[in-house]
């Protein structure tokens, strides 16, 4: 009746329309062919609504390729499209005004017909999996007010004609894969209040036209690849309250106008390359600021005193900068939850540096406090025991802090992470630490802590990581550690612990003691343990790393260790083990097994270089020795026969086809498409690093599972093509264990027709030497701090020297690397050093080496400031002596821990002169403090004794080589072949013949 009464109002077309409806219904009932979207559209128009809107919705549905929740099933002819899921129409005109389909697990492309919904005010497709480009037709939606496309997989560029949507107030496209630049035309959106393009791949700079957005309240651009500088134009956005451009590549200084944004509440420029200082009147010009984050930049100077008046502050994140001086009182910051100041140069290394901590005792909301890796000195004040019980994260590591861990630390009952390592703390661990039931990480390595490890530490049942190595603890390991069921890492190396290894660590214990069967890393080296390895440890099948070196342990090496499938590293060095060493499991990998200093061990794989077991030793070790011998002899006989047959067969096959692994075959045929898949479409999560000529991504090949590193050249930099050719030419004919292996090169076009050039290398799991020499920890990091010990540094130095010697003297034509620095030294899983990045290399023929004319450079000045030899800057010829200079600086950096571009090396002072002035009397002062503490903890508690041992003699020789190599005149520098000889001699003086990879102590 409703249908009839509606049509009675239009009598001239009543019968025609009525007949059309009847025919369509009749066709539908009998499921006849010919029913079309056009027919449905016309039927819906009759019922009420607009044919254009219906067509647009049907086209939108047609491009949906995935609908896990089946929500699009409601989009059918049985109901009016205004009643379809997610569709809202106006009351009077029955036109679509809202399309809300967020969080529905939809996938597909966005139809350009969306631009025909001319009455649309709100489009919300967030948190789905829409892909491909955002159609330009969205710019036709003149009534659009809200555009929400966040958390999808949209690609391509931001539509420039979005500026035509003059009524728009909210735009969010965060969490997609958008590329290109931010259109300057968006500066015409006079009504927009929020612009959000975070977590994409946008490049270019922030358009100056954004200064015209007088209504803008939130500009969120973090986690892209934006560059350029922040201009004064941003300071004209007077209503701005949320400004976030963190984790980009923006440089320059913060313009003064930015600090005049009186309405700003959230200010985030973290993770960029911004320099300069913070304004002295910060809290005055930004009175409402509650989130201030500038971490990961190069800001210098002091923290302004005015910050103490920012009473609304909830988070102050200043870590990873170059800030200096002491902190003002923070007493008025009673709303502060996060105070993160780590990795700066704060403090003066003396008493009084930590006074500001006591001004925080009345703060009831403090959750995270990080002052680690600074220059704070003085005694750790007792007042930290009075911090709010809301504190969950406390980090003071890598400073010069003295005194004891306050007894009242147990009052911080909600503490989850306590990091106090690499200080000068003394005294015992407070007994009441057992009250901190939520503690999951306690790191107190590299201090002077004494006494016994408290028995009630077993009350901390949530412990995951416990590292107390390199201290002066005595007594036994408390059996109560068996209660720590979740313990994954236990580091107690280099103390004075004695007794036997407690069986309670095994899991074979009474129910009341619990178990530690989840333990993955156990480090007990450098103590006084004795007796055999208990059989009860056989239940620790999840062990990944085991270090019990430098003790007095004896007996045989248990066979059950062979069955530990996860075990990747075992160090039994310098004990009194005897008998046959197993040959299965982890013991098959010589690079993972360390058994030096056990003179009574025999057997094992040949790579371990142990003596052959005699019958007496073998029978003593294994009662079934005779049976084993028979089995071995029979097996060898069968193997010999099979080997002869296989050799003959392979010789016949060799002529017919070459032999190569599947991985090698797959790498030879890599394409742009395969690289795209391997790197998850060059995801920012896969980005390993970037340089002047391109970016490096980690990738996993889909078919073979091979892990690769892909260096993608920047097509916009004309020098990158030259660099690509240079690197290809350099690497195609060189092979050395200490050079990064190039697997293939790709030169073609991408899906947009742009030039695409990439080099594929073997992936180095331990990153660059730069990361290990100058690593830092974030507030949520639960991984072991990455520090290289003395032996590892010597080994890497030898590796690099061998590689340079090969390039200079053992290639068909000499090769000059031209850019040697820690970032170009990569470390594999065995911590072996490899030289990488030959984009600036120069191949020098014998004639050129002997020619008095200069070797020209088509890539401009070669090398990196601080590492490039001085003669290159004066236009002198390229030579192998230039690499020698860079190596010398690298060597000095490795053992001082100081970069040649450190701020202290100014006004004539250099790293070379800094070391030269200190030798030989003040060698301890210039040595990396990590290495000094390492030696002190290894049995030389008096630093004066440190001046008379073999360790010092080796260190003095290393500095001498570094100084000779980095001499100002090329004629004074020695040859790399001489460097290799000298370094190998130094290494031979140190007892390990193979250096173990890094383990937490």
Q: Active-site positions?
A: 819
The closest of 427, 437, 434, 387 to 405, measured between CA atoms, is 427
Residue located via tokens 């390895």: 533
CA distance 542 to 564: 7
Cβ neighbours of 616 (radius 10 Å): 9
- Contact by Cβ (8 Å): 376, 400: yes
The closest of 794, 982, 967, 826 to 891, measured between CA atoms, is 794
Residue located via tokens 């205004």: 82
CA distance 888 to 774: 18
Tell me the angle at which helices 790-809 and 976-989 cross, rounded to the nearest 10 degrees: 150
For 155, 156, 244, the CA distances from 162, given in Å and listed in that order, are 16, 14, 22
CA dihedral 461, 464, 469, 473 (to 10 degrees): 0
The closest of 804, 797, 829 to 819, measured between CA atoms, is 804
For 32, 168, 513, 550, the CA distances from 210, given in Å and listed in that order, are 57, 15, 64, 64
C-alpha of 673 from chain center: 25
Take residue 284 and report the two structure tokens written for it. 């005055």
Which residues are paired to 448 by β-bridges? 426
CA distance 425 to 175: 45
Q: DSSP readout, 670-720? A: --HHHHHHHTTTT-GGGEEEE-SSEEEEEEE-TTT--EEEEEEE-TT-HHH
CA distance 576 to 572: 9
Q: Are strands 474-475 and 496-499 parallel, antiparallel or unpaired?
A: parallel
C-alpha of 708 from chain center: 16
Reduced to 3 states (helix: H, G, I; strand: E, B; else coil), residue 62 is helix
Take residue 459 and report the two structure tokens written for it. 């009350």
Cβ neighbours of 250 (radius 10 Å): 23
The closest of 661, 667, 670, 811 to 729, measured between CA atoms, is 811
Q: How many helices (H) and strands (E) does the chain have?
A: 21, 48
- Contact by Cβ (8 Å): 741, 761: yes
Q: Are strands 842-844 and 814-816 parallel, antiparallel or unpaired?
A: antiparallel
Take residue 729 and report the two structure tokens written for it. 């030419």
Q: Any long-range contacts for 400-405 (C-beta under 8 Å, 24+ apart)?
A: 400/347, 400/349, 400/375, 400/376, 400/424, 401/354, 401/376, 401/377, 401/425, 402/377, 402/378, 402/426, 403/379, 403/427, 404/380, 404/428, 404/430, 405/380, 405/429, 405/430, 405/444, 405/449
Question: What letter does residue 73 receive in the DSSP assignment?
Answer: G
Omega before 920 within 30 of 0, i.e. cis: yes
Q: Are strands 755-762 and 707-713 parallel, antiparallel or unpaired?
A: antiparallel
CA distance 67 to 60: 13
């Amino acid at each position: 009746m409703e249908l009839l009464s509606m049509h009675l109002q239009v009598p001239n077309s009543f019968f025609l329309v009525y007949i059309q409806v009847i025919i369509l219904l009749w066709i539908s009932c009998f499921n006849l062919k010919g029913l079309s979207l056009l027919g449905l559209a016309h039927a819906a128009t009759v019922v009420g609504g607009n044919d254009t809107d219906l067509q647009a919705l049907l086209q939108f549905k047609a491009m949906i390729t995935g609908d896990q929740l089946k929500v699009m099933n409601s989009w059918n002819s049985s109901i009016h499209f205004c009643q379809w899921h997610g569709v809202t129409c106006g009351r009077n005109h029955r036109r679509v005004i809202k399309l809300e389909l967020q969080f529905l697990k939809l996938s597909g492309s966005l139809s350009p017909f969306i631009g025909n919904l001319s009455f649309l005010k709100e489009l919300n497709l967030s948190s789905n999996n829409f892909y491909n480009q955002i159609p330009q037709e969205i710019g036709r939606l003149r009534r659009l007010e809200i555009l929400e496309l966040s958390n999808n997989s949209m690609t391509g560029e931001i539509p420039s004609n979005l500026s035509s949507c003059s009524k728009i107030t909210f735009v969010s496209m965060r969490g997609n894969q958008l590329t290109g630049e931010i259109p300057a035309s968006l500066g015409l959106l006079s009504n927009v209040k929020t612009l959000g393009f975070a977590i994409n791949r946008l490049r270019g700079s922030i358009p100056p036209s954004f200064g015209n957005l007088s209504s803008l309240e939130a500009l969120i651009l973090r986690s892209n690849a934006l560059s350029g500088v922040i201009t004064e134009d941003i300071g004209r956005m007077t209503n701005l309250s949320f400004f976030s451009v963190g984790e980009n590549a923006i440089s320059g200084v913060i313009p003064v106008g930015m600090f005049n944004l009186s309405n700003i509440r959230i200010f985030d420029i973290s993770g960029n390359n911004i320099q300069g200082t913070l304004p002295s009147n910060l809290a005055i010009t930004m009175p409402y600021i509650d989130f201030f984050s500038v971490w990961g930049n190069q800001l210098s100077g002091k923290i302004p005193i005015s910050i103490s008046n920012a009473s609304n502050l909830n988070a102050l994140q200043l870590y990873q900068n170059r800030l200096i001086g002491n902190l003002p009182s923070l007493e008025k910051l009673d709303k502060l939850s996060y105070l993160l100041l780590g990795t700066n140069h704060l403090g003066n290394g003396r008493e009084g540096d930590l006074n500001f901590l006591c001004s925080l005792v009345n703060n009831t909301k403090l959750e995270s406090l990080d002052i680690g890796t600074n220059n704070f000195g003085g005694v750790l004040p007792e007042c930290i025991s009075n911090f709010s019980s809301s504190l969950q994260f406390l980090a003071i590591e890598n400073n010069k802090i003295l005194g004891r861990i306050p007894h009242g630390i147990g009052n911080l009952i909600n503490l989850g992470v306590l990091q106090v390592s690499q200080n000068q703390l003394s005294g015992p661990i407070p007994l009441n630490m057992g009250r901190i039931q939520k503690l999951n990480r306690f790191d107190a390595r590299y201090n002077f802590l004494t006494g016994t490890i408290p028995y009630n530490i077993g009350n901390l049942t949530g412990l995951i990581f416990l590292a107390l190595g390199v201290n002066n603890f005595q007594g036994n390991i408390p059996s109560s550690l068996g209660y720590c069921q979740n313990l994954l890492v236990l580091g107690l190396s280099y103390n004075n612990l004695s007794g036997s290894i407690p069986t309670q660590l095994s899991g074979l214990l009474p129910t009341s003691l619990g178990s530690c069967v989840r333990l993955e890393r156990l480090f007990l080296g450098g103590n006084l343990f004795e007796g055999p390895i208990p059989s009860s440890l056989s239940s620790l099948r999840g062990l990944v790393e085991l270090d019990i070196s430098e003790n007095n342990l004896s007996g045989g090496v248990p066979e059950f260790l062979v069955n530990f499938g996860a075990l990747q590293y075992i160090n039994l060095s310098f004990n009194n083990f005897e008998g046959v060493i197993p040959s299965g499991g982890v013991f098959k990998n010589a690079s993972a097994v360390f058994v030096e200093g056990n003179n009574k061990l025999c057997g094992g794989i040949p790579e371990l270089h142990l003596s052959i077991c005699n019958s007496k030793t073998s029978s003593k070790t294994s009662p079934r020795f005779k049976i084993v011998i028979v089995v071995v002899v029979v097996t060898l006989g069968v193997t010999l026969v099979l080997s002869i047959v296989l050799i003959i067969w392979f010789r016949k096959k060799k002529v017919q086809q070459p032999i190569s692994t599947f991985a090698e075959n797959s790498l030879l045929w890599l394409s742009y498409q395969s690289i795209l898949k391997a790197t998850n479409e060059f995801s920012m999560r896969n980005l390993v690093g970037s340089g002047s000529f391109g970016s490096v991504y980690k990738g996993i090949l889909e078919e073979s599972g091979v892990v690769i590193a892909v260096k993608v050249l920047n097509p916009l930099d004309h020098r990158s093509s030259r660099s690509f050719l240079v690197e290809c030419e350099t690497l195609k004919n060189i092979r050395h264990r200490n050079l990064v292996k190039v697997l293939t090169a790709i030169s073609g076009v991408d899906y947009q027709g742009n030039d695409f050039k990439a080099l594929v290398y073997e992936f180095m799991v331990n990153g660059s030497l730069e990361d290990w020499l100058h690593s830092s920890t974030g507030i949520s990091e639960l991984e072991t701090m990455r520090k290289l010990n003395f032996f590892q540094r010597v080994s890497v130095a030898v590796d690099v020297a061998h590689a340079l010697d090969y390039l200079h003297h053992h290639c068909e034509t000499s090769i000059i690397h031209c850019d040697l620095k820690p970032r170009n030294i990569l470390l594999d899983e065995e911590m072996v050093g490899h030289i990488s990045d030959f984009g600036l290399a120069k191949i020098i023929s014998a004639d050129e080496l002997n020619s008095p004319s200069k070797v020209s450079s088509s890539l401009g000045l070669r090398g990196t400031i601080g590492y490039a030899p001085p003669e290159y800057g004066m236009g002198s010829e390229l030579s192998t002596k230039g690499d020698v200079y860079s190596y010398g600086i690298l060597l000095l950096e490795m053992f001082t821990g100081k970069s040649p571009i450190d701020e202290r090396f100014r006004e004539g002072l250099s790293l070379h002169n800094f070391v030269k002035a200190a030798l030989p009397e003040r060698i301890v002062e210039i040595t990396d403090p990590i290495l000094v503490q390492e030696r002190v903890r290894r049995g030389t508690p008096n630093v004066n004794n440190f001046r008379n041992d073999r360790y010092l003699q080796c260190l003095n020789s290393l500095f001498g080589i570094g100084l000779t190599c980095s001499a100002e005149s090329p004629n004074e520098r020695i040859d790399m072949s001489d460097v290799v000889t000298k370094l190998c001699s130094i290494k031979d003086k140190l007892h390990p013949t193979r250096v173990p990879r890094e383990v937490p102590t």
